[in-house]
Amino acid sequence: MSDAIKNKGPVVAAAGTGINLALGVLYTWSIFKGAIRQSIEEGAGFDWDLASLNDPYAVCCLVFAFAMIVAGRFQDKIGPRKTAIIGGVLVGAGFVWISQTTAYWSWVLGFGVLCGTGIAFGYSAATPAALKWYPPNKTGRISGFVVSGFGLASVYIAPLSNYLLEEWGLQKAMLFFGIAFFFVVGSLANLLRNPPTGYVPQGFVERRTTDRPSEVSVKPLDMLKTRNFWVLWMLYFIGAGAGLMVIGSVAGMAKSSMGEYAFVAVAIMAVGNAGGRIAAGMLSDKIGRKRTVVFIFMFQALMMFSATPAILYAPHNATLLVVLATLIGFNYGANLALFPSFSKDFWGMKSFGVNYGILFTAWGVGGLVMSRLSQTLFAEKGSFTDSLLLAGILLVAGVMMSALIRDRKDELRRAARRKQGAGSA
């Protein structure tokens, strides 16, 4: 096998990260929402109900999640390059569409449905392609590295969006993003490649025992019959929903203390979001996925409970708000590295696209439910505190629920002990 083929891993991982850096525009919604809200209050174009401001974002999360099932199927069948190109075309079309209208339903369909579907196709192509070039002991770190692009996107998109909104206005800014993402995602997609049949990653060590096959391979219908799937689905719903709730509203939370510089909170939170993906991926390779998810949920619950008094009693403390938002982003980002790794560990790579796509529906449902609930509570009470308390309680429940996960290594150890006990008897 040639050196050129052996060295494709870093290129594919970098291309996948670049695609996610573009598609992560989703996390900048709170800035777009602020511009729409200002337009509503000034009577200058947009005529929406304030309680519905998060709807395009919430629908985008939901469509993104469920479209991952179809996109995963495409990725498994036609490969990552064509799948990512489809994603770039759909996201570009969605942004071009909303650049031409202020109608509520057009934004729900353009940003929510078209962009959500396009993001799913691009996102589903990036991680599996990269993972196939690396050995199992690097699953967490490679997954974390690739998906970190999605979280890190707001670092440049937030200030760029703020600049474009001030200089060009909302509609022209959306047109710019539509054209730019079409070309960026399309170009990077050409670098995505699956390894050739029979490829063995450098550093791969095959471990064969009588109790463990060399590679697990579980079909989607069989996966749905396992307890692990449903426990992980609920955990993903809680962890993702809590994080997306804050991400979708962080600019609004920061408005009172940071004014026109509220976009800075979004950008800094993105650093935490990306850092959480890389750190959790690496940590889970060392101490295991289950222990890592318990730690992350406990930490996230603590941040939610801490954010409540911060908003009530220190609403103008910009530093405190940014620190809390960054840590919440860190913990949320960890989910996006842990759950793909869980999927590969438990159900293998053969049907990874579809299997992870089905699990990823929890991310979308969590984003829809928690974002909508948060915006409704804010519209009624003018505060995010009730939403943060609810998220914290759900995260504590998630910590207890994680005890139900049946770790593959633990199952093998128990099987070995039973075998030894039977032998001694």
183: Cα separation from own chain's centroid: 22
Kindly list the domain boundaries of the chain, sorted by start residue: 10-195+216-413
Task: Please tell me the predicted confidence (pLDDT) of residue 199.
Answer: 73
Calpha distance 370→232 (Å, rounded): 18
CATH topology for the 10-195+216-413 domain: Growth Hormone; Chain: A; (1.20.1250)
> Of 338, 324, 337, nearest to 268 (Cα)?
324
As a 3-state breakdown, the chain gives helix, strand, coil percent values, each rounded to 5, of 80, 0, 20
Tens of pLDDT, residue by residue over 26-56, are 878 878 888 898 888 887 788 888 878 888 9
Task: Please tell me the predicted confidence (pLDDT) of residue 259.
Answer: 65
Q: Which parts of the chain have pLDDT scores under 50? A: 1-4, 207-214
- According to DSSP, residue 114 is labeled I
Calpha distance 48→34 (Å, rounded): 13
Task: Please tell me the predicted confidence (pLDDT) of residue 209.
Answer: 42
Name the token pair of 352: 């990874």
Task: Please tell me the predicted confidence (pLDDT) of residue 390.
Answer: 85
Helix (H, G, I), strand (E, B) or coil at 306: helix
Task: Please tell me the predicted confidence (pLDDT) of residue 106.
Answer: 94
Which residues are within 8 A (CB) of 148 and not within 5 positions of it... i.e. 6 or more apart? 17, 20, 274, 275, 277, 278, 333, 337
Helix axes 8-23 and 170-189, enclosed angle (nearest 10): 170
Tell me the one-letter amino acid at 251: A
Task: Please tell me the predicted confidence (pLDDT) of residue 214.
Answer: 47
The torsion defined by the Cα of 226, 201, 209 and 283, in degrees rounded to 10, comes to: -60
Q: Quote the pTM value.
A: 0.74
Task: Please tell me the predicted confidence (pLDDT) of residue 210.
Answer: 39
